[in-house]
Amino acid sequence: MSSNPWALLEAREWEAALAAYTASWNNTGNREDLFNRALVLLNMRRWPEAMSDFEQCLSLGRSRGANAYELVGAIHWLMGRQKEAVAWWQSSLKADRPRWNQIARSPALLVYAGVKLGYEWLVMDGLKRLKGVWKPGHNPRWPGILPGMYLGEVSADRPEVYVSNLPVIGERELCQAYFYTGVIALRNGDTALAAMRFRRAAALEGAVLEVEYHLAGAEVSDRPSSLLP
Protein backbone atom coordinates (compact mmCIF):
# COMPACT_ATOMS: atom_id res chain seq x y z
CA MET A 1 0.00 0.00 0.00
CA SER A 2 1.25 3.46 -0.89
CA SER A 3 2.11 5.89 1.89
CA ASN A 4 1.30 8.88 -0.32
CA PRO A 5 -1.92 10.46 0.98
CA TRP A 6 -3.15 11.51 -2.46
CA ALA A 7 -2.50 8.06 -3.90
CA LEU A 8 -4.46 6.57 -1.01
CA LEU A 9 -7.32 8.96 -1.70
CA GLU A 10 -7.36 8.10 -5.40
CA ALA A 11 -7.32 4.39 -4.50
CA ARG A 12 -10.32 4.94 -2.21
CA GLU A 13 -8.36 3.64 0.78
CA TRP A 14 -10.33 5.97 2.99
CA GLU A 15 -9.15 4.93 6.45
CA ALA A 16 -5.51 4.99 5.43
CA ALA A 17 -5.94 8.30 3.59
CA LEU A 18 -7.64 9.82 6.63
CA ALA A 19 -4.79 8.77 8.89
CA ALA A 20 -2.18 10.05 6.44
CA TYR A 21 -3.81 13.45 5.92
CA THR A 22 -4.43 13.87 9.64
CA ALA A 23 -0.77 13.18 10.38
CA SER A 24 0.38 15.54 7.63
CA TRP A 25 -2.02 18.30 8.73
CA ASN A 26 -0.89 17.99 12.35
CA ASN A 27 2.74 18.11 11.27
CA THR A 28 2.72 20.90 8.69
CA GLY A 29 -0.53 22.85 9.11
CA ASN A 30 -0.84 22.86 5.30
CA ARG A 31 -4.38 23.88 4.33
CA GLU A 32 -4.33 21.54 1.33
CA ASP A 33 -3.95 18.62 3.72
CA LEU A 34 -6.95 19.84 5.68
CA PHE A 35 -8.98 20.30 2.50
CA ASN A 36 -8.08 16.83 1.26
CA ARG A 37 -8.88 15.32 4.65
CA ALA A 38 -12.31 16.90 4.33
CA LEU A 39 -12.72 15.22 0.94
CA VAL A 40 -11.85 11.88 2.51
CA LEU A 41 -14.36 12.43 5.33
CA LEU A 42 -17.01 13.38 2.78
CA ASN A 43 -16.49 10.09 0.97
CA MET A 44 -16.67 8.25 4.28
CA ARG A 45 -20.05 9.94 4.81
CA ARG A 46 -18.74 11.53 7.98
CA TRP A 47 -20.48 14.70 6.97
CA PRO A 48 -20.28 16.88 10.12
CA GLU A 49 -16.52 16.28 10.36
CA ALA A 50 -16.04 17.00 6.66
CA MET A 51 -18.06 20.19 6.98
CA SER A 52 -15.97 21.30 9.95
CA ASP A 53 -12.73 20.81 8.00
CA PHE A 54 -14.01 22.68 4.95
CA GLU A 55 -15.21 25.56 7.13
CA GLN A 56 -11.84 25.66 8.88
CA CYS A 57 -10.15 25.85 5.48
CA LEU A 58 -12.27 28.89 4.65
CA SER A 59 -11.51 30.51 8.00
CA LEU A 60 -7.79 30.16 7.30
CA GLY A 61 -8.09 32.21 4.14
CA ARG A 62 -7.84 31.40 0.47
CA SER A 63 -8.12 27.64 0.03
CA ARG A 64 -10.10 26.60 -3.04
CA GLY A 65 -12.69 29.17 -2.02
CA ALA A 66 -15.68 28.51 -4.27
CA ASN A 67 -15.08 24.76 -4.26
CA ALA A 68 -15.14 24.67 -0.45
CA TYR A 69 -18.41 26.65 -0.35
CA GLU A 70 -19.95 24.31 -2.92
CA LEU A 71 -18.85 21.22 -1.02
CA VAL A 72 -20.23 22.52 2.28
CA GLY A 73 -23.47 23.28 0.46
CA ALA A 74 -23.53 19.74 -0.91
CA ILE A 75 -23.06 18.30 2.57
CA HIS A 76 -25.99 20.33 3.85
CA TRP A 77 -28.03 19.06 0.90
CA LEU A 78 -27.07 15.45 1.63
CA MET A 79 -28.12 15.96 5.23
CA GLY A 80 -31.53 17.26 4.16
CA ARG A 81 -30.78 20.90 4.94
CA GLN A 82 -31.79 22.39 1.61
CA LYS A 83 -32.13 25.97 2.82
CA GLU A 84 -28.59 25.95 4.21
CA ALA A 85 -27.30 24.31 1.03
CA VAL A 86 -28.77 27.04 -1.15
CA ALA A 87 -27.26 29.73 1.10
CA TRP A 88 -23.80 28.20 0.76
CA TRP A 89 -24.13 27.85 -3.00
CA GLN A 90 -25.22 31.47 -3.22
CA SER A 91 -22.20 32.48 -1.13
CA SER A 92 -19.92 30.53 -3.48
CA LEU A 93 -20.84 32.98 -6.26
CA LYS A 94 -18.71 35.63 -4.53
CA ALA A 95 -15.83 33.35 -3.59
CA ASP A 96 -12.42 32.98 -5.19
CA ARG A 97 -12.53 30.97 -8.42
CA PRO A 98 -9.19 29.51 -9.52
CA ARG A 99 -10.70 27.50 -12.40
CA TRP A 100 -13.19 28.38 -15.13
CA ASN A 101 -15.58 25.58 -14.29
CA GLN A 102 -16.23 27.20 -10.93
CA ILE A 103 -17.82 30.10 -12.79
CA ALA A 104 -20.44 27.78 -14.24
CA ARG A 105 -20.75 25.27 -11.41
CA SER A 106 -22.26 27.53 -8.75
CA PRO A 107 -25.07 28.94 -10.94
CA ALA A 108 -25.71 25.43 -12.26
CA LEU A 109 -26.10 24.19 -8.68
CA LEU A 110 -28.64 26.95 -8.03
CA VAL A 111 -30.65 25.73 -11.00
CA TYR A 112 -30.49 22.19 -9.62
CA ALA A 113 -31.72 23.35 -6.22
CA GLY A 114 -34.46 25.44 -7.79
CA VAL A 115 -35.70 22.51 -9.89
CA LYS A 116 -35.69 20.13 -6.94
CA LEU A 117 -37.37 22.57 -4.57
CA GLY A 118 -39.82 23.99 -7.10
CA TYR A 119 -38.36 27.50 -6.77
CA GLU A 120 -38.61 29.00 -10.24
CA TRP A 121 -37.04 32.24 -9.03
CA LEU A 122 -33.91 30.30 -8.06
CA VAL A 123 -33.85 28.53 -11.43
CA MET A 124 -34.10 31.88 -13.23
CA ASP A 125 -31.37 33.41 -11.06
CA GLY A 126 -29.01 30.56 -11.93
CA LEU A 127 -29.85 30.78 -15.65
CA LYS A 128 -29.33 34.53 -15.65
CA ARG A 129 -25.86 34.06 -14.18
CA LEU A 130 -25.04 31.33 -16.68
CA LYS A 131 -26.13 33.59 -19.52
CA GLY A 132 -23.65 36.16 -18.28
CA VAL A 133 -20.70 33.77 -18.75
CA TRP A 134 -21.91 32.03 -21.92
CA LYS A 135 -19.71 32.66 -24.95
CA PRO A 136 -21.26 30.95 -28.00
CA GLY A 137 -18.62 29.33 -30.18
CA HIS A 138 -15.77 30.13 -27.78
CA ASN A 139 -16.10 27.19 -25.38
CA PRO A 140 -16.76 24.05 -27.44
CA ARG A 141 -15.56 21.69 -24.70
CA TRP A 142 -16.57 20.90 -21.16
CA PRO A 143 -17.25 22.85 -19.00
CA GLY A 144 -17.41 25.86 -21.31
CA ILE A 145 -20.34 24.32 -23.13
CA LEU A 146 -22.44 23.90 -19.96
CA PRO A 147 -24.11 27.35 -19.94
CA GLY A 148 -25.17 26.82 -23.54
CA MET A 149 -26.79 23.51 -22.62
CA TYR A 150 -28.66 25.03 -19.69
CA LEU A 151 -29.83 27.91 -21.87
CA GLY A 152 -31.07 25.55 -24.56
CA GLU A 153 -28.61 26.79 -27.18
CA VAL A 154 -26.57 23.56 -27.27
CA SER A 155 -27.96 20.03 -27.42
CA ALA A 156 -27.66 18.06 -24.19
CA ASP A 157 -28.34 14.74 -25.89
CA ARG A 158 -24.72 13.53 -25.99
CA PRO A 159 -22.79 15.23 -23.18
CA GLU A 160 -19.95 12.69 -23.43
CA VAL A 161 -18.70 14.20 -26.70
CA TYR A 162 -17.65 17.40 -24.94
CA VAL A 163 -15.43 15.96 -22.19
CA SER A 164 -11.69 15.39 -22.11
CA ASN A 165 -10.14 12.21 -23.49
CA LEU A 166 -7.68 12.06 -20.58
CA PRO A 167 -8.71 9.18 -18.28
CA VAL A 168 -8.84 10.91 -14.89
CA ILE A 169 -9.95 14.34 -16.04
CA GLY A 170 -12.39 12.83 -18.52
CA GLU A 171 -14.16 10.74 -15.89
CA ARG A 172 -14.56 13.72 -13.58
CA GLU A 173 -15.87 15.90 -16.41
CA LEU A 174 -18.20 13.13 -17.58
CA CYS A 175 -19.66 12.88 -14.09
CA GLN A 176 -20.38 16.59 -14.14
CA ALA A 177 -21.81 16.39 -17.66
CA TYR A 178 -24.14 13.51 -16.83
CA PHE A 179 -25.30 15.20 -13.64
CA TYR A 180 -26.09 18.57 -15.19
CA THR A 181 -27.77 17.10 -18.26
CA GLY A 182 -29.79 15.06 -15.79
CA VAL A 183 -30.87 18.33 -14.19
CA ILE A 184 -31.85 19.64 -17.62
CA ALA A 185 -33.93 16.51 -18.24
CA LEU A 186 -35.56 16.83 -14.84
CA ARG A 187 -36.48 20.45 -15.50
CA ASN A 188 -38.01 19.36 -18.83
CA GLY A 189 -40.13 16.76 -17.03
CA ASP A 190 -38.26 13.71 -18.36
CA THR A 191 -37.68 11.92 -15.07
CA ALA A 192 -36.65 8.65 -16.76
CA LEU A 193 -33.82 10.34 -18.66
CA ALA A 194 -32.86 12.33 -15.56
CA ALA A 195 -32.66 9.15 -13.48
CA MET A 196 -30.49 7.46 -16.13
CA ARG A 197 -28.10 10.41 -16.24
CA PHE A 198 -27.87 10.57 -12.44
CA ARG A 199 -27.17 6.83 -12.30
CA ARG A 200 -24.36 7.20 -14.80
CA ALA A 201 -22.85 10.12 -12.87
CA ALA A 202 -23.04 8.21 -9.59
CA ALA A 203 -21.35 5.16 -11.13
CA LEU A 204 -18.17 7.04 -12.07
CA GLU A 205 -16.00 6.27 -9.05
CA GLY A 206 -13.10 8.20 -10.54
CA ALA A 207 -15.14 11.34 -9.82
CA VAL A 208 -15.35 10.89 -6.05
CA LEU A 209 -13.87 14.36 -5.54
CA GLU A 210 -16.65 16.09 -7.44
CA VAL A 211 -19.70 17.76 -5.90
CA GLU A 212 -21.81 16.27 -8.67
CA TYR A 213 -20.80 12.68 -7.85
CA HIS A 214 -22.20 12.98 -4.34
CA LEU A 215 -25.38 14.80 -5.38
CA ALA A 216 -26.01 12.22 -8.09
CA GLY A 217 -25.51 9.47 -5.53
CA ALA A 218 -28.23 10.98 -3.38
CA GLU A 219 -30.57 11.11 -6.38
CA VAL A 220 -30.26 7.38 -7.04
CA SER A 221 -30.31 6.26 -3.42
CA ASP A 222 -33.36 5.27 -1.39
CA ARG A 223 -33.44 8.63 0.36
CA PRO A 224 -36.81 10.44 0.38
CA SER A 225 -35.47 13.10 -1.99
CA SER A 226 -34.52 10.53 -4.61
CA LEU A 227 -36.10 10.49 -8.05
CA LEU A 228 -36.46 6.75 -7.91
CA PRO A 229 -39.27 4.76 -6.23
Can you give the chain as a three-state secondary structure string? CCCCHHHHHHCCCHHHHHHHHHHHHHHHCCHHHHHHHHHHHHHCCCHHHHHHHHHHHHHCCCCCHHHHHHHHHHHHHHCCCHHHHHHHHHHHCCCCCCCCHHHHHHHHHHHHHHHHHCCHHHHHHHHHHHHHHCCCCCCCCCCCCHHHHHCCCCCCCCHHHHCCCCHHHHHHHHHHHHHHHHHHHHHCCCHHHHHHHHHHHHCCHHHCCCHHHHHHHHHCCCCCCCCCC
Per-residue pLDDT of the chain (229 residues; tens, 9 = 90+): 567 899 999 889 999 999 999 999 999 888 999 999 999 999 999 999 999 999 999 988 765 678 899 999 999 999 999 999 999 999 988 876 555 455 788 899 999 999 999 999 999 999 999 999 898 877 678 988 999 999 999 999 999 999 999 888 999 999 999 999 999 999 999 999 999 999 999 999 999 999 999 999 999 985 434 343 2
**pTM for this predicted structure:** 0.91
**Cβ–Cβ under 8 Å, residues 64 and 205:** no
Q: Quote the CA–CA distance of 122 and 93 in Å, as a whole number.
A: 13
Q: Quote the CA–CA distance of 106 and 51 in Å, as a whole number.
A: 18
